[in-house]
Structure formats: structure tokens, C-alpha cells
A = this chain, B = another copy of it.
Amino acid sequence: MMNHQDQSLLRTLHRNSLTLPLPQYKVVNLMRSLGVLSRGDLAQQLGYSRATISGIVKDLIDRSIIRESADAESTGGRPARILDFNAGFAYVIGVDMGATSVDMALADFRGELLLRHREAIDVRQGPEPVLDRVVERMQALIRRAAISGDKIRSIGIGVPGPVDFLNGVLSMPPIMPGWERYPIRTRIQAAFPLATVVVDNDVNVMALGELRSGAGKGVDHFIFVKVGTGIGAGIVVNGEIYRGSNGCAGDIGHIQADRSGPVCHCGNVGCIEAVASGSALARQAMQAAQSGRSPVLAQVLANGTTQLTAEHVGMAAHAGDKVAMELVKTSGTLIGEVLAGVVNFFNPSLILIGGGVANIGTQFLSTIRRGILSRSLPLSTQHLRIDYSPMGEDAGVIGAVALAIEHIFVGKL
């Protein structure tokens, strides 16, 4: 149950959103979840009569929100009319902020990315200069697209840390300490007073991207696990992002993976992030190179690289370096074992692995799989699919666009 304060925050968040009658709102959401549909599909899924659906669809066409076209795949007889979103109804911007880079896209109402921009940033400069730059780049995107600024109905932003979703601020962000409760949404809102502005955790946003237009389409319960500098998960329950009681659900990086592991930056021992993340692999790679245990990694250092990364470990493993192969295997196994606990608790039907470390090769994925299967119950893994995120590095920006589109409308009874 939402309390009064939360309801009021939600109203503030949605003050620029367009109000739709609830049945229309449901049809729009169903089309977002399942893709282009016919009136018959809609009627069946929502349990409305054909006549009711026709009325709702007519209203949505009158509002220019959806449009119809003949189904190219229909054969013979009267072609089924399929429904799709009207691309030009509105435009949105999705922003994927990382600790060291920002990736943004301007998209149409169908979610097609029209223009992209990516550049290096350093969040340690603090929120004001960074967000000033982000706003400037967003305005440049709009100029390049030659559309009027008031056509941007919604802006979605993913940030790397726990987000107080209703307030649009970061809450105790470990890698962005200077951003604690800085009003990110308010700052962006000031530059785009007509748009709805939504801020969410980066991994939630990636999960949303997969849910709306990736491998998570039509999947009720799944998790997106980002293995990068840190480790985190975005959770989808009943086809919606699940944020938990304080907005920090999915913060799996500090689950214990190894009782005899090193001390993590959080102060605890053996967190999965401290033993199996991109930064852990990089640290282990430096040790292996400097001690001479890994000839391939030592060679990379000798060739002038000053800082080894998880990618170097992946390359060395691919080249047959025993120690590098062992590092990949240990990291994947530990992540798998932690995810096994998650599988037993949450019983998802899909786990997608993304983030930078997902680029280091298929051996990493297969050891994660083995780790999960070794410690999960047979019933919970019977239909469990475990894969790399097919969106790869685009999951964040595609998800941010989906987040923006999600909040163009609110439904009202």
C-alpha cells in the first residue's frame, strides 16, 4: 500500500504525463509488453469483448497514439489489421550514466533509436558539472534531430547506484559519494519543463530494456545480472521492475561468496563483488602477472599496459594461459554459486548476464551456468535459461528509452 507521501511524490513525478482512461492505458501497456497485436489478440489477453476493444482502439487511433496496417503475413481472405504505435506521437531521450561514461539516445514513440551520443565523463567531478554537460548533450541531440524541444515528452535516466525512485535521487551510492541525495530529477526537469523525467538504477534500467524489447519480452520473472566493476541485479516480477522496500533490491554484490575471501570495500569478508567482479579479476590479473605465474598477462604488462583488466584475463584465457583460465573459472563458479541461492529463493525462468565482464568469452558463461546448476534445486532449474544479455552494452541506453516511454502516460479509472 502506498502511503500519502508516496502518492504525492508519484503525482509530482507524473505531473507532465498524459492521462489515459484505464482500459486504453492497459491496451497501450499490453502492446508494449507483447509487441504488435491484432484486436482479437487484445480482446483475448484482456478479457474484453471484441466490441469493447474496437472502441478502445478507435479512441487510441483518434488520439494518434496507435495506428493500424495490414498484416503482411496474412494469407488469403480479408487481411487481419495489426496495430502498432505511431512513431511520431512523441519523442523521448534515454540516458545511461556510468561512472566513467554517458550513453544517450533520442528515440521515437515506437522506441526506435534515432540518434546516439556517447562520451567519457567522470562522476567524481560531482553532480552539477556532470549534469550540466549531460543536459547540454541532450539539447544538442534534439537540435541534430531537428525536432521541437516540446516534442520530448519523457526522459529516462539510469544511474549506477541505489535510487530513491519517487524522489529521483541516489541514496548512499558507494561509487558516487558526492551525489548522495542530489536532486538529479529536479535538475533535468528544470531544463525540460514539459517532459516527464524518471531516474532509476542502471541495472533496473537494463532489465527493463530486455523486458520491453529484448530476451525478457513476455517473461514474467527474470533477473538481469550486471558483472562490471561491481556486481548488481535488476529484478523483474510479474513483468514489472521490482525495486524492494528501499529501492535497493538486487544489490547482490555484497552477498558472501567466499568465507575466506578478501575484505571488501564495504567492510565485510568475501563479498562476491570482492572476489569475482571486473575489478577483482583485474586485481588478480595484476598479481598473476607481477608474480610471473601468468606468462601471457606478464607479457601484456611488459608490452606497456599499466593496468590489466578483466578483458585481458579473457584474452589470456582464450590464448590458453592456465592461470587466466583458472581466474575466469573461479570467478564464474563463485558468481554461479551466489546466483544459485537467488534461484532457490526467487525461482526465475531466465537469468541474463551483462556488463563489461560478459565480453570475456563463453567459458565465463559456462562456469556461471555450472555454478548455478550445481547448487540449485532441480525443480527451480527445470526450465531456467541462463544467457548473456543479447543487447550487450546497449542494454542501458535501450532500457533508459523504455523507462522514458513507460512514463509518458498514466492510467486513470
Contacts and interface: CB of A to CB of B under 8 A. Distances in A.
Contact of A1 (B220, B248, B338): B220
B218 A248 contact: no
Interface stretch (A78-86, A93-101, A313-321, A373-381): A373-381
Contact of A162 (B171, B233, B259, B379): B379
Contact of A245 (B33, B47, B348): B348
Contacts of A251: 344-345, 347, 377, 379-380
A383 interface: yes
A252 B347 CA distance: 10
Nearest to A339: B345
A139 interface: no
Contacts of A337: 256
Contact of A413 (B48, B259, B340, B342): B48
Interface stretch (A108-116, A189-197, A236-244, A302-310): A236-244
Contacts of A344: 251-252, 254-255
A382 interface: yes
Interface in A243-288: 243-252, 254-256, 259, 266, 268
Nearest to A380: B248
A341 interface: yes
A255 B345 contact: yes
A412 interface: yes
Given A48-B413, A345-B252, A413-B47, A245 B377 contact: no
Contact of A342 (B47, B345, B348): B345
A245 to B, nearest CB: 4
A247 B34 CA distance: 23
Contact of A347 (B249, B268, B340): B249
A225 B347 CA distance: 16
A266 B377 contact: yes
A248 B347 contact: yes
Chain B CB within 10 A, most for which of A48, A245, A252, A342: A245
A246 B382 CA distance: 8
A233 B349 CA distance: 19
Top 10 closest A-B pairs, CB basis?
Answer: A244-B347, A245-B349, A249-B347, A255-B341, A248-B379, A172-B379, A248-B380, A248-B347, A251-B344, A221-B245
13 contacts: A1-B220, A1-B239, A47-B412, A221-B245, A235-B345, A246-B383, A248-B347, A249-B347, A252-B344, A255-B340, A256-B337, A342-B345, A345-B346
